[in-house]
Amino acid sequence: MAILLENEILLLLGIVALASGGFKLKALSLSGAVGTFFVGIFIALGFQGYGLLLIGLFFVTSSFWSKYNRNKKEKISDMHEKGSRRDVVQVLANGGVPALIGVLAYFFPADYWIYGFVTSIAVANSDTWASEIGSLSRKRPYSVLRMEKVETGTSGAISSLGTLAAISGSALIGIASNILWDDVNEIAALFIIIIGVIGCFIDTLLGATVQSSYQCKECGKLVEKTLHCNRPTKLVKGKAWINNDVVNISSILIASLLIMLLSSLVM
């Protein structure tokens, strides 16, 4: 009992350190820190310390790339609805599915939960790395629908640098999961890496088709904001309720369900 209590205290301290550290480093807003705390609790329920290590790896690396060369990204941040400091909605958009899987794994133990959990983080990491590193490319990205050059930071666009970053981000999580869990062998890790990248491209496709995009009535710029240049913007693409957060959680959920289905059939 004493050892069990000690482990629970260590897990709780780890969660508090992750949330408070993110807030102090200005990677999280106050609401984002609170959201991170609860996401950590739910993940720890199902996957204990290894689950926290994996979500921590995503958080640390994604925060690093979000802050890296921030001055060069100022023009891009003007297009996006939110900045680099994650609020509770952004935390849930990336961590909500892993947290849900953690709860389900606790109450309904099964082998396939681990694959869904790891893949959910692989998609989040892949997408974040693609967005943050890809935005530093010297070449403008291409729209996945029109295959023509668009402004850097445009949702639904890809670049060679961003694609390489997506693969690298997913690979990091796949390799780490292979090290942390015996259940995740080399073949499983390869599936996770591949589906993590597929999830990233699902995110891109949704961003190009159904995600809301607005045009500023003052400067004519295409943005994700409903207010730009101190004036309301005009919806020109997608659905108003489908913003970047909705696209993120949707792509993560789709990829996680896919890997769990494959695991029950193949792994």
Q: What percent of the chain has pLDDT over 90?
A: 58
Q: By the 8 A CB rule, do 70 and 84 touch?
A: yes
Return all residues near 29 (Cβ < 8 A) that are at least 6 apart: 23, 85, 86, 87, 88
Q: Which one, of 194, 168, 59, lies nearest residue 115 by Cα? A: 194
* Predicted TM-score of the model (pTM): 0.91
Host H or E run for residue 123: helix 112-134
Model confidence over 186-233: pLDDT tens digits?
Answer: 999 999 999 999 999 999 999 989 998 888 888 878 888 888 888 888
Q: By the 8 A CB rule, do 169 and 57 touch?
A: no
Model confidence over 141-170: pLDDT tens digits?
Answer: 888 887 788 887 778 888 999 999 999 999
Model confidence over 89-128: pLDDT tens digits?
Answer: 999 999 999 999 999 999 999 999 999 999 999 999 999 9
Quote the pLDDT of residue 76: 65
Which residue is listed with tokens 């997408």? 127
Q: Give the residue, 56 or 71, on which the prediction is more confident.
A: 56
Host H or E run for residue 222: strand 222-223
Query: How many CB atoms are located within 10 Å of the residue 145 CB?
Result: 11
Which amino acid is residue 78, in one-letter code? D
Q: By the 8 A CB rule, do 134 and 111 touch?
A: no
Q: What is each CA distance from 237 to 169, 207, 246, in whole angstroms? A: 29, 10, 15
Residue 13 has pLDDT above 70, yes or no: yes
